[in-house]
Structure 1
Amino acid sequence: MIVEVAVLQVKNGQEALFESDFILASQYISSISGYLSHSLLKCMEQENKYILVANWEKLEDHIIGFRQSPQYVLWKELLHHYYDPFPIVEHYQGVNLT
């Protein structure tokens, strides 16, 4: 499993609209092959800061399967105008500790 993490800085005062549009946009990410789950976490100290955590079967499911899909175009149209600055998206995998 691959974990995608993005820190999202939403323009001040647009948090409620962003959250509403994020609910709509969730249908697009969840329709992609290899998608497992996602969640949106809101910062308790900074009202306009969020973390997106998405779980994918493999890296290509996100960077090719989603980002090169028609669903991603719809995702971008709904959400990308809220960000300032544009988020850095990183991918993580588990570490074998045994």
Structure 2
Amino acid sequence: MILEIAHFQIVPGNNKAFEAAFATAQALLASSPGYLDHELQRCIEDASGYRLLVHWNTVEDRVHGFRGSPRFTQWRALLQPFFAAAPTALHFERVTTNADVR
């Protein structure tokens, strides 16, 4: 399992419209092969900053199963109007968990 963390900076003052568009776009994400779950978070200190955390089975599921699919094109069309800058994303693999402390 991998974790994708995407950084979105939206045009200030568009939070409600962006979040409404994301509510529609998330169904496209969730229907992708290898998708496990996701969470969208808004920054407290910078209300225009968002982080999207998505768990995938593999990086290939994200790159080929979603990014290379028509679903991504639709997803991007819904959200692109709100981006103040190009989104960035990185992928992480788990090293340890709180279960390792017990």
> Identity, % of aligned pairs?
35
Secondary structure at the aligned position of 1:38 is classed as strand
Within a 5 Å distance, the mapping from 1:1-98 to structure 2 comes to 1-95=1-95
Q: Secondary structure at the match of 1:52?
A: strand
Q: Report the RMSD for the aligned CA atoms in angstroms.
A: 1.4
State which structure, 1 or 2, has the greater radius of gyration over its C-alpha atoms: 2
Q: Which runs of structure 1 show a deviation greater than 6 angstroms over 4 or more consecutive aligned residues?
A: none
Quote the offset at 1:85 in angstroms.
1.1
1:53 aligned counterpart, secondary structure = strand
- The total of aligned residue pairs comes to 98
Classify 1:96/1:16 alpha carbon distance in 2 versus 1 (closer, same or farther; 3 Å).
Answer: closer
- Structure 1 gap segments, 5+ residues each: none
- TM-score, length basis structure 2: 0.90
1:81 is displaced (CA, Å) by 2.1
- What TM-score do you get using the length of structure 1 for normalisation? 0.94
